[in-house]
Structure 1
Amino acid sequence: MTRLQNPILRGFNPDPSIVRVGDDIYIATSTFEWYPGVQIHHSRDLVNWRLASRPLSRASQLDMRGDPDSCGVWAPDLSYADGKFWLIYSDVKRYGQTTVNGASGASLRDFHNFVVTCDRIDGEWSDPSYLNSSGFDPALFHDDDGRSWLLNMLWDHRPNRGRFAGIVIQEFDRAALRLVGEPKLIFTGTERGFTEGPHLYKRDGWYHLMVAEGGTGWDHAVVMARSRSIFGPYDVHPDGPVLTAQGRRDGPITRAGHGDLVDLADGTTWLTYLCGRPLPGRERCVLGRETAIQAVRWDEDGWLRTIKGDAEPEVAPLAPNLPRAPWPRRVWDGRFDRSDLPEEFQWLRTPDPAELFSLTARPGRLRLFGRETVGSYFRQALVARRQEHFDYTVTTRMEFAPTNFQQAAGLICYYNSTKFHYLNVTVDAGVRQLQVMSAHPEIGCETAVVVAALPDGAIELRATVVQDALHFAWRVDSAEDWQTVPITFDASILCDEVTAPGLPNFTGTFVGMACQDLSGTAMAADFEWFRYVGKDAAPV
């Protein structure tokens, strides 16, 4: 018997939305401030997955310049109707909360919700149609009578309110690509609170509403309610959460919640959901929120339950009874002798990547143009890939000839603008040097000079992470031994759980290349290759 190994999408792939079209199964996940927006993975057996599309790739679809950390694209919803795919997404422009004399003040946030369509998952998706801005996590439900409905959580910004005001529904005209009628509040949630992430299904005359509750941390959960009418009232599942790892802060799967259902051709039902894998003993999920999946069952009373009936996430559930369908292996040797960016990589916020990097300005190199600070919300030349393993090594070779202290480039382990470790080359008093800049949300930025007088020419940089320990190293010649930076850096701060109060933290760790030029001359750094080697943990 074949078993799945959860998570199926490793390293920062949260808020999964799943749909089946014939033999093809697709999962869309959130990308937040990383560009292009939304990741869609494809499988035919739930075991083997490949990245099929990042659909939001044009300025007309998505421009996140100015979006704060952990804002941008939240909780996309993927569905299929009228012979085409429908993708709903939020672009979150502000995450703000205030207190007045210790009491909760107004929480002014901006959530703009849009829809795009395409007849092929990997085709050119349409320009967006605006829907509303009343809350986040929008999702489409296509009823069997031909009508479609938009659901989203309702945000209450007023002082001393619950913020999460429930789930609203409004009819969506698929032909006109607009909402019609008035929104109606259909579900205010349970005592767990933080009701969000709605999805609606119809089965045996019942409308089943699935929501995420409990916040996206240790008490996250999948909750269900049902009604004979689409407008409610909705009765909550008698067993409590359908799936949760409530309170668990260690073990292989925690933070389970925000789910979506798919029926396979054989009639089995599968629940995909986000989860976290904390570092052993550290209660920190450096890989971010990942995507897992497992079979569930509909019982005689009409309610959904896990196969074991225990509402527990499974680490290694049985795979579906489908023919194995592995994808051709995509092998990249790590060299930038190509005209397109390898699919592992993304960048931050801007729809104009030509401002940040080029693979043709110097053939055989990824050229980063020095732009704004590593804390910028606008134009930051940072190209990186997800951390997918607790233990990994990254190496790169860089050519960079800075002329003043405002220019820097190098290798970065990055969570957001307040959390990173950055090994970089710069200049001080006319002398090229190697330094490490580290940012912690409660401490700020600290810099340690590694080499006060660095020789001119190319340099190789290395980052080695083992669980929570990060070590940097460097050398100027591949024939030489690596010179290890004599400082152990805390890799565990690059996670959701380490933060300053009031800051959103919903992404995961990336490792990549960065270049800054605060003088405004766009001094370039050229990277010849970038190699990531991860070590898989032993199967549980």
Structure 2
Amino acid sequence: MITNPILPGFNPDPSICRAGPDYYIATSTFEWYPGVQIHHSTDLVNWRLVSRPLNRASQLDMRGNPDSCGIWAPCLSYADGLFWLVYTDVKRLDGNFKDAHNYIVTAPDIAGPWSDPVYVNSSGFDPSLFHDEDRRKWFLNMVWNHRTDSVGGNPKHPAFAGILAQEYDPAAGKLIGEPVNIFAGSSHGLVEGSHLFRRDGWYYLTVAEGGTGYDHAVTMARSRSLTGPYELHPDTFLMTSKDAPDAPLQRAGHGQMVETPDGQVYHTHLCSRPLPGIRRSPLGRETAIQKCVWGEDGWLRLAHGGLVPALEVDAPDANSRKLPVDPVRWEFSGDRLPEDFQWLRTPYPERIFSMTGSALRLHARESIGSWFEQALVARRQEHLAFRAETSVRFAPRNFQQTAGLVHYYNRSKFHYLAVTWHEELGRVLTILSCPGDWPHGKLEFPLAKPVALPADGRVELAMEVGGADLQFQWRVPGTDWQAVGPVLDASVISDEGGRGEHASFTGAFTGMAAFDTSGSAISADFDRFDYIPAQT
């Protein structure tokens, strides 16, 4: 069986393609660097991260991009001996404009090297590239209409003005002909995330609708002509959880179909797993996959029936087995950052961290939550209950210098256990929290009084997260762990915390952070990081 989600934690907008016996899924990364995650599988059951292709300044610079902007909805395809990746870099979220720029990069191998980007257009986001049987290529994206009152954190239908299609000339590296609005969407509205698939003389179009919250859906339509007109699926939707509030996979939508070599059909989709009794999803929008079948009427449907996605579906090969998930420790003893970790926005990571051979050294820069140069290195939270530990050497000289362990979503949603300096107590522990105060990002300080630390030496920091509860702990080497501060609300470190799921598109991360608002760029050395899941 395939157990969903197949890519746990923040992995939204899954675009899937097959190259021979190999399957690849590309997912959105928003403001996290490098851009786009690509996972590989040979059985649709087990997946491994194999590439983050947008990894240099000539491809991507997101400094200044607001929270939940950056890389939206990539589309990955394989044709003509190349992998093709199209994506949007969104520069603005709020108000009537999006400033969404679309690009294409290519590579002969999934591991790269990936080309510098070719600019395509800026008329809307969620692009895809369709390779037709006559070898012509078509570029699709939703078109954004700024002439609307659809602003803020609750998008309305008028801004989502349909799906554009235009021919793309790869030799010239540009669009040719005129764009055609091929599909206005269903009455459910908010049409985006389009993908084309050709079968038996039909062009099948799947789109995401209903917004990326709890009304999300995959809508399907078809036409004999690529440019339409398109008729809606008899059920309108291929899948949705919008009318099943108790289903374990919520917010189902935005995905793509793929055929196995023997003709079986699967369709990826994003989903979320809210905390029990709370409509908050710390793990963000995750990737799942459903088995589908073609009906006698020529329409695709879920193999298990209905519209609600399943936790378990049949794998292409009945002998496939899911590999276990084990606790992980990173010693930071190499010269490269382990692949599980990412940072924020900047294509110049040497400015915010380096590998010493025995530690990850953070070079403290701007404040936590900065949109420009923030020394924060973290990995995805993939379980609703887990423990994270780290060990830091840090000698602050003033209160503007901190380093420590963070549970992070964005500038208005985080909890941060930090080593810093106090004028009377010397080196101390403090907690900085921002429990969803958008747009101000005002801090709270849950510790009534900082905890005094030894004047020098390593300090070990930990967090225990169980559902909606977070408890920080600390110790010096050779002593027992002890709790520090009150139990904090971990549920706010979620899509729905703060301003809500229509404007928060990533997921919770756990990792290491440092800042130095004095401008001295003090360093902090972290010699290990442990991530220990309490459940799978």
What range describes the TM-score normalised by the shorter chain of this pair?
Answer: over 0.9
Q: Is 1:407 aligned to 2:393, yes or no?
A: no
Q: Is 1:434 aligned to 2:434, yes or no?
A: no
Correspondence list, 1:315-464, <5 A? 315-321=311-317, 324=320, 333-360=329-356, 363-429=357-423, 431-442=426-437, 444-449=442-447, 451-456=450-455, 457-464=457-464
Aligned to 1:4: 2
In 1, the alpha carbon distance for the partners of 2:215 and 2:271 equals 11
Q: Does structure 2 retain, via aligned residues, the 8 Å contact 1:153–1:168?
A: yes
Q: Assess, with a 3 A threshold, how the Cα gap between structure 1 residues 325 and 484 changes in structure 2: closer, same or farther.
A: closer
Residue type matched to 2:19 in 1?
V
In 2, the alpha carbon distance for the partners of 1:518 and 1:172 equals 47
Q: Does structure 2 retain, via aligned residues, the 8 Å contact 1:409–1:426?
A: yes
Unaligned runs of at least 5 residues, structure 2: 151-157
In 2, the alpha carbon distance for the partners of 1:58 and 1:248 equals 43
Aligned to 2:499: 500
2:308 to 289, 292, 312: 312
Correspondence list, 1:103-252, <5 A? 107-160=96-149, 162-252=158-248
Q: Does structure 2 retain, via aligned residues, the 8 Å contact 1:243–1:306?
A: yes
Residue type matched to 2:172 in 1?
A
Residue type matched to 1:57 in 2?
N
Q: Assess, with a 3 A threshold, how the Cα gap between structure 1 residues 278 and 502 changes in structure 2: closer, same or farther.
A: closer
Residue type matched to 2:373 in 1?
R
Aligned to 2:86: 88
Correspondence list, 1:26-41, <5 A? 26-41=24-39
Q: Does structure 2 retain, via aligned residues, the 8 Å contact 1:18–1:261?
A: yes
C-alpha displacement of 1:322: 6.5
Residue type matched to 1:141 in 2?
F
Q: Does structure 2 retain, via aligned residues, the 8 Å contact 1:25–1:44?
A: yes
Q: Is 1:24 aligned to 2:13, yes or no?
A: no
Specify the SS of the correspondent of 2:212. Answer: coil
Aligned to 1:530: 529
Q: Assess, with a 3 A threshold, how the Cα gap between structure 1 residues 117 and 144 changes in structure 2: closer, same or farther.
A: same
Aligned to 2:13: 15
In 2, the alpha carbon distance for the partners of 1:415 and 1:491 equals 10
Q: Does structure 1 retain, via aligned residues, the 8 Å contact 2:247–2:308?
A: no
Deviations 1:393-437, CA, capped at 9 Å, x for gaps: 011110111001110110000000100000001112162211111
Q: Is 1:51 aligned to 2:49, yes or no?
A: yes
TM-score normalised by structure 1 residue count: 0.94
Q: Assess, with a 3 A threshold, how the Cα gap between structure 1 residues 119 and 330 changes in structure 2: closer, same or farther.
A: farther
Q: Assess, with a 3 A threshold, how the Cα gap between structure 1 residues 511 and 328 changes in structure 2: closer, same or farther.
A: closer
C-alpha displacement of 1:247: 4.0
In 2, the alpha carbon distance for the partners of 1:176 and 1:330 equals 48
In 1, the alpha carbon distance for the partners of 2:272 and 2:325 equals 27
Deviations 1:84-107, CA, capped at 9 Å, x for gaps: 00000000000122xxxxxxxxx0
Q: Does structure 2 retain, via aligned residues, the 8 Å contact 1:45–1:323?
A: no
Q: Assess, with a 3 A threshold, how the Cα gap between structure 1 residues 47 and 488 changes in structure 2: closer, same or farther.
A: same
Q: Assess, with a 3 A threshold, how the Cα gap between structure 1 residues 248 and 496 changes in structure 2: closer, same or farther.
A: farther
Specify the SS of the correspondent of 1:496. Answer: coil
Percent identical pairs in the alignment equals: 56
Residue type matched to 1:218 in 2?
Y
In 2, the alpha carbon distance for the partners of 1:532 and 1:160 equals 44
Residue type matched to 2:510 in 1?
V
Residue type matched to 1:470 in 2?
L
C-alpha displacement of 1:321: 2.2
C-alpha displacement of 1:535: 1.9
Specify the SS of the correspondent of 1:492. Answer: helix
Residue type matched to 1:485 in 2?
V
Q: Does structure 2 retain, via aligned residues, the 8 Å contact 1:85–1:121?
A: yes
Q: Does structure 1 retain, via aligned residues, the 8 Å contact 2:194–2:207?
A: yes
Q: Is 1:489 aligned to 2:484, yes or no?
A: no
Residue type matched to 1:63 in 2?
D
Residue type matched to 1:472 in 2?
F
In 2, the alpha carbon distance for the partners of 1:415 and 1:183 equals 37
In 1, the alpha carbon distance for the partners of 2:377 and 2:240 equals 35
In 1, the alpha carbon distance for the partners of 2:236 and 2:463 equals 44
Deviations 1:430-464, CA, capped at 9 Å, x for gaps: 62211111102338310133534221221000000
Q: Assess, with a 3 A threshold, how the Cα gap between structure 1 residues 128 and 380 changes in structure 2: closer, same or farther.
A: same
Residue type matched to 2:452 in 1?
A
C-alpha displacement of 1:240: 2.0
Specify the SS of the correspondent of 2:347. Answer: coil
Residue correspondences, number: 523
C-alpha displacement of 1:176: 1.9
Aligned to 2:512: 513
Residue type matched to 1:112 in 2?
H
Unaligned runs of at least 5 residues, structure 1: 98-106
Aligned to 1:281: 277
In 2, the alpha carbon distance for the partners of 1:366 and 1:259 equals 36
Q: Assess, with a 3 A threshold, how the Cα gap between structure 1 residues 370 and 502 changes in structure 2: closer, same or farther.
A: same
Q: Does structure 1 retain, via aligned residues, the 8 Å contact 2:213–2:501?
A: no
Q: Does structure 1 retain, via aligned residues, the 8 Å contact 2:250–2:272?
A: yes
In 2, the alpha carbon distance for the partners of 1:446 and 1:160 equals 34
Specify the SS of the correspondent of 1:272. Answer: strand
C-alpha displacement of 1:500: 2.9
Residue type matched to 1:175 in 2?
A
Correspondence list, 1:247-262, <5 A? 247-262=243-258
In 2, the alpha carbon distance for the partners of 1:20 and 1:207 equals 19
In 1, the alpha carbon distance for the partners of 2:300 and 2:79 equals 25
What is the RMSD computed on CA atoms of the aligned residues? 1.8
Specify the SS of the correspondent of 1:239. Answer: strand
In 2, the alpha carbon distance for the partners of 1:47 and 1:375 equals 36
TM-score normalised by structure 2 residue count: 0.95
Structure 1 stretch displaced more, 46-55 or 324-333:
324-333
Residue type matched to 1:433 in 2?
V
Runs of 4+ in 1 over 4 A off after TM superposition: 325-332
Q: Assess, with a 3 A threshold, how the Cα gap between structure 1 residues 61 and 331 changes in structure 2: closer, same or farther.
A: farther
In 2, the alpha carbon distance for the partners of 1:282 and 1:501 equals 13
